């Protein structure tokens, strides 16, 4: 099977500094890959290489089966790109700008007209198509940036931090648009916003200091985050020694004399044994709640381990 994006053993040096270290991954149609990492991790450098704006020091990139270095024109025809700063000509109207972008993509006049109509509707820009881009809100300008990236209906869409600086309503709208696009395309979404990955992506990978340190599908990741810890609240202090010897209980975090977090080994579920022990102790069990481990917890743990 031909992957829409194939990255194999990618390296990039700036002098002696290694910005991207032996990076390999792939993206298929219908996937939205969350490319996650702290600022300076190498996300933008990687995307610039994948889009042909920066040469790798070593490694291989193919877009829709075409080698990006050997067949750059064929590869880039399947590519739509929104950089972290949208490439907008703000003195033009939305319609004028998209017409210009369509000409750059080699679309015929009749094809441009149809493509603009479809893209305006898809990006929610129909009501502002005659307005100057300079007079639009930042949220609408981001939509115009996405519109130019998808105008020629590329198989691959690469978005570099598309929601930075937007208000909560604008962020919600852009995320919904990305999810919709992800049904028909292969998308890489670069971000350092962890909740964005959870709400938008099907796959997630974390890059740290130029190196891939984590990769998983979002369904499995969310299942993992729903396990591993129980929050306990009682009327009287429980006997933690008896709880610690229960099978699969790893440690107990004491928040107060009557409030605990019990951490246990995945994928086991010791809640029944814990409840039975607390009832036997007659400490007055008031609450037993699973604690969802956040993306922030996973992110911090992984980056600290690889620092």
* DSSP alpha helix (H) spans, 39-193: 43-50, 72-76, 94-104, 109-122, 138-150, 168-181
Number of domains in the chain: 3
Helices (H) and strands (E) in the chain, counts: 11, 14
Per-residue confidence in pLDDT tens, the chain, 307 aa: 679 999 999 999 999 999 999 999 999 999 999 998 888 889 999 999 999 999 999 999 999 999 999 999 999 999 999 998 888 999 999 999 999 999 999 999 989 999 999 999 999 999 999 999 999 998 899 999 999 999 999 999 999 988 887 888 888 888 998 999 999 899 999 987 777 888 899 999 989 889 998 888 887 776 666 568 899 999 999 999 999 999 989 889 899 999 999 988 877 889 999 999 999 999 999 999 988 666 666 666 666 655 5
Q: Say whether both 4 and 68 belong to one domain.
A: yes
Q: Please report whether residue 301 resides in a domain.
A: no
Looking at 105, 132, 148, the residue that finishes a domain is: 148
* Residue 286: partners with Cβ closer than 8 Å, 6 or more residues away: 233, 234, 235
* Residue 245: partners with Cβ closer than 8 Å, 6 or more residues away: none
Asked whether the beta carbons of 57 and 13 are under 8 A apart, the reply is: yes
pTM of the model: 0.75
Looking at 111, 130, 148, the residue that finishes a domain is: 148
Range of the domain at 71: 1-78+154-218
Q: Say whether both 117 and 245 belong to one domain.
A: no
């Amino acid at each position: 099977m031909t992957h829409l994006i194939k990255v194999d053993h990618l390296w990039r040096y700036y002098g002696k500094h290694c910005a991207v270290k032996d990076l390999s991954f792939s993206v298929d149609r219908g996937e939205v890959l969350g490319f996650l990492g702290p600022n300076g991790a190498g996300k933008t450098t990687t995307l610039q290489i994948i889009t042909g704006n920066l040469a790798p020091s070593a490694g291989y990139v193919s877009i829709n089966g075409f080698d990006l270095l050997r067949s750059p024109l064929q590869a880039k025809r399947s590519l739509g790109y929104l950089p972290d700063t949208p490439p907008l000509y703000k003195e033009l109207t939305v319609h004028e700008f998209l017409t210009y972008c369509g000409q750059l993509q080699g679309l015929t006049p009749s094809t441009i007209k149809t493509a603009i109509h479809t893209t305006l509707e898809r990006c929610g820009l129909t009501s502002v198509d005659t307005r100057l881009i300079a007079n639009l809100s930042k949220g609408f300008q981001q939509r115009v940036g996405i519109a130019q990236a998808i105008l020629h209906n590329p198989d691959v869409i690469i978005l570099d931090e598309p929601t930075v600086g937007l208000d909560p309503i604008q962020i919600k709208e852009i995320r919904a648009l990305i999810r919709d696009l992800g049904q028909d395309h292969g998308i890489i979404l670069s971000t350092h916003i962890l909740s964005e990955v959870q709400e938008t992506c099907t796959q997630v990978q974390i890059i740290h200091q130029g190196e891939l340190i984590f990769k998983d599908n979002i369904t499995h990741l969310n299942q993992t985050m729903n396990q591993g810890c129980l929050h306990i609240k009682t009327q009287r202090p429980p006997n933690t020694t008896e709880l610690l010897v229960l099978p699969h209980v790893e440690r107990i975090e004491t928040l107060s004399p009557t409030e605990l977090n019990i951490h246990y080994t995945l994928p086991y579920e010791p809640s029944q044994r814990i409840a039975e022990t607390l009832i036997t102790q007659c400490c007055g069990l008031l609450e037993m709640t699973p604690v969802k481990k956040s993306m922030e917890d996973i992110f911090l743990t992984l980056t600290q381990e690889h620092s």
